[in-house]
Structure 1
Amino acid sequence: MDTVTGKTLLITGAAMGMGKLYARLAAAERAKTLVLWDINAAELEKTAAELRASGCTVLAQVVDVSRADAIAAAAAQARASAGTPDILINNAGIIRGKYFWEHDVQKDIEMTMAINALAPMYIAREFLPDMIAGRGSERRIVNVSSAASLVANPRMSVYCASKWSCTGWSDSLRLELKQAGHTHIKVLTVCPTYISTGMFDGAKPMLLTPLMTPQYVVDRVWRAMKAGRGRLILPWTVYLSNALKGLLPLALYDWLADHVFGIYHSMDDFRDSKR
């Protein structure tokens, strides 16, 4: 896929941050239609107005992706108004940074699992049958997971659980589509470390792992998506951490992650921002 010109994209968490950057890239490449989902109505309308001014057709929908019924209703409206998306970017996510026993069951645990783990599945399930049927064109699903789906971390237990779920499902979906012969659909699983979006306010950079800028990550994801890659892990130190985790005794790996790489203290000063 050399360009998204003439294609329809659906992006969640599109009002601000990285979701907005994906939408800008799509508009710059003259996408046919942008379907933007976000729960923040005011910011969503600002983003939609900006993109419409660039000449792009935009359907902005206020959607609470933590609710399956809201996803189903929004998907039905999107299908009726914009058709089947050629590219689906599951970008929406939240973080609750605290020890597990400090989490509220409904506000923290259920909400995190609903948005980070279940919503990408529900959204993909809404559109996949029609995406599969449309064999005439290349299609993409991008699931923004996290390096936390590969490396455990204190004060991130529920977030890690949600992203481990997302990565496992996303990578399995990639294999299922390939095995079933639906090779026109490529699934990209994205696993970045901390990004300076404000979502991880106060998180400490780890050894050899600087805080990445949103534009840097979005540009890398965009290229990987169009190339049809299956996984994007950023930066290279995540590969190193996983290699060491597989090779070393657990006690030795824990010591290195704690005292050398600084992984286990990266969330010590995190400032939680409620959704």
Structure 2
Amino acid sequence: MKTAAGTKVLVTGAAMGLGKSFAQRAVAERAADVVLWDINEEALKETAAELAAQGSSRVHHYVVDVSDRDAIAEAGAAVRAEVGDIDVLINNAGIVRGNGYFWETTNKVDIDKTMAINSLAPMYVTLEFLPAMVSGKRESRVMTIASSAGLVSNPRMSVYAASKWAALGWSDSVRLELEQSGNDHVKFTTVCPTYINTGMFDGAKGFLFTPILEPDHVVDTSWNEMKKGAALVVMPWTSRLNRAITGLLPLKVRDFYLNSVGVYHSMDEFKGRK
């Protein structure tokens, strides 16, 4: 897929941040339809109006709480009826809650919401559109924004890490299922960046050779690799190194290394978006 021109693109968490940037990429490449899902109605309307004003794509927006599987099913049916089958799906919606140790968790709803939005939502959203992608035989793409937290354990973000491990394991497994079943026209891409400068991880610290990533770099790299059909996008290079080390070194040596370079203390002063 060299371009999104003429395709139908759906982005979750599209009102702001990375999601808005992905939607902008789709409009810039003249996608036929760009579908925006978000729970923030006010920001969603503003983004939809901004993109529609560019005039190169039909822009549709739906207020959807992706932590609610019934809401996903209802919105999925509406999109299929009003827009048609989706060619490119960007599972971008995500949250991070809390900055303490797991046993300090006082609001158990945060656990449910984190797992529902980061882990289950990509599955339920994809299930709304993947069967038609498979049967339609058109070149199609599904990209899921996971995290480097899905590659390496990290203190003070245990629930978030668990949710992203799940997203990575699911997405990469479906990729293999598509290859195994001969449905190579549908490509799954899983993106695992470190902390991104969107406000979501305010207070988190970069570590050795690993600065906080800029959103445009993440979006540009992810978007281009998705079109190529890349299976896994890990950024920056230090995350790829840490992943390799995790698989090669004895556990105690790995822990000593990741603690020494700052990975295990990167969430010590995390505040997050208010």
TM category, shorter: over 0.9
* Superposition TM-score, scaled by structure 2 size: 0.97
**Which position in structure 2 is the counterpart of 1:271?**
271
**Matches of 1:75 and 1:167, distance apart in 2:** 23
**Which position in structure 2 is the counterpart of 1:119?**
121
The offset of 1:102, in angstroms, is 2.1
The offset of 1:244, in angstroms, is 1.8
AA matched with 2:125: I
AA matched with 2:132: D
SS in 2 for 1:128: helix
SS in 1 for 2:94: coil
- Superposition map of 1:181-220 within 5 A: 181-220=182-221
* Superposition TM-score, scaled by structure 1 size: 0.97
AA matched with 1:120: P
SS in 2 for 1:143: strand
SS in 2 for 1:89: strand
SS in 2 for 1:34: strand
Match status 1:149 vs 2:150? yes
Deviates more, 1:90-99 or 1:35-44: 90-99
SS in 2 for 1:6: coil
CA deviations on 1:137-167 (whole Å, 9 max, x unpaired) are: 2100001100000000000100000000000
CA deviations on 1:203-226 (whole Å, 9 max, x unpaired) are: 000101111100000000011011
**Which position in structure 2 is the counterpart of 1:21?**
21
**Matches of 1:14 and 1:265, distance apart in 2:** 31
- Superposition map of 1:228-247 within 5 A: 228-247=229-248
Deviates more, 1:195-204 or 1:91-100: 91-100
**Matches of 2:247 and 2:78, distance apart in 1:** 46
**Matches of 1:238 and 1:197, distance apart in 2:** 19
**Matches of 1:246 and 1:188, distance apart in 2:** 21
SS in 1 for 2:142: strand
The offset of 1:126, in angstroms, is 1.0
**Matches of 1:67 and 1:102, distance apart in 2:** 26
**Which position in structure 1 is the counterpart of 2:102?**
100
**Matches of 1:47 and 1:89, distance apart in 2:** 16
Q: Is the 8 A contact 2:153 2:161 kept in 1?
A: yes
**Matches of 1:239 and 1:269, distance apart in 2:** 24
The offset of 1:105, in angstroms, is 5.4
Question: Gaps (5+ residues) in structure 2?
Answer: none
SS in 2 for 1:256: helix
**Matches of 1:106 and 1:265, distance apart in 2:** 24
**Matches of 2:250 and 2:132, distance apart in 1:** 47
Q: Is the 8 A contact 2:199 2:272 kept in 1?
A: no
Aligned residues: 272
**Matches of 1:270 and 1:77, distance apart in 2:** 38
**Matches of 2:131 and 2:102, distance apart in 1:** 37
AA matched with 1:149: G
**Matches of 1:141 and 1:20, distance apart in 2:** 17
**Matches of 2:106 and 2:255, distance apart in 1:** 28
**Matches of 1:183 and 1:127, distance apart in 2:** 16
Q: Is the 8 A contact 2:187 2:229 kept in 1?
A: yes
SS in 1 for 2:114: helix
The offset of 1:249, in angstroms, is 2.0
**Which position in structure 2 is the counterpart of 1:52?**
52
SS in 2 for 1:14: coil
> CA RMSD of the aligned region, Å?
1.0
Deviates more, 1:250-259 or 1:138-147: 250-259
Question: Gaps (5+ residues) in structure 1?
Answer: none
**Matches of 2:243 and 2:15, distance apart in 1:** 33
